[in-house]
Amino acid sequence: MENSEIKAITYQASMRLSIKLQKLDLVKLKLSEYNTAYLNKYLTDLDFYSNLYGQLLHKAIIKLKKPIKESTFIDYGGGSGFLSLFAKELGFKTFSPFIDESYDEEESSFKRMQKITSEVKRICSMSQDEMHEWYYEMQDIFIHNRELIKKYGERYHESQREVIDNAYEELMK
């Protein structure tokens, strides 16, 4: 996928997400005060955050330092969830219900980290058999996300090949 094509795809996802977010009625959603305030912050400066996270995902897709087919997008839950929303708009899937993602709804940073730590401990306490079963239950999500990244990566590699070919042609003139 060509750099400009990746940029176009992330821009289009940004626009689709912006339209969806602008239509949100935060009162009807009955979110916690924390999530409402956080989301309001993003809605107030939607252009800024859409551009910021769009650039972040654009660079992440381009600058992976290992084969794209071996890469997975993971949002560790340290913020408001905006990056996850953006990744979902690009087509990525999360690991819910296999991973408890309720930390995204937690107002307190301390409690959020407790929830994340608890989930990590739960996963780490699984037996090898449980881990294998759990992994195979999530296989469709892994495959979906891998194929999406491969699609973006293939277009990027094609564009790089074209850049190199064009540079070579220019040098040979």
The dihedral region occupied by 77, where left means phi > 0, alpha psi between -120 and 50, and beta the remainder, is left
Question: CA-to-CA distance for 95 and 101, rounded, in angstroms?
Answer: 8
Question: CA-to-CA distance for 2 and 27, rounded, in angstroms?
Answer: 41
Helix (H, G, I), strand (E, B) or coil at 170: helix
Q: What is the pTM of this model?
A: 0.47
Q: Which residue has the higher pLDDT, 129 or 4?
A: 129
- Domain range for 43 is 3-172
Question: CA-to-CA distance for 137 and 102, rounded, in angstroms?
Answer: 20
Predicted local distance difference test score (pLDDT) of residue 97: 87
Number of H helices, E strands in the chain: 8, 0
Instruction: Report pLDDT digits (tens) over 108-166.
Output: 778 888 888 898 899 889 999 999 999 899 999 988 888 887 877 776 566 666 666 66
Contact yes or no for 173/13 (Cβ under 8 A): no
Number of domain units in the chain: 1
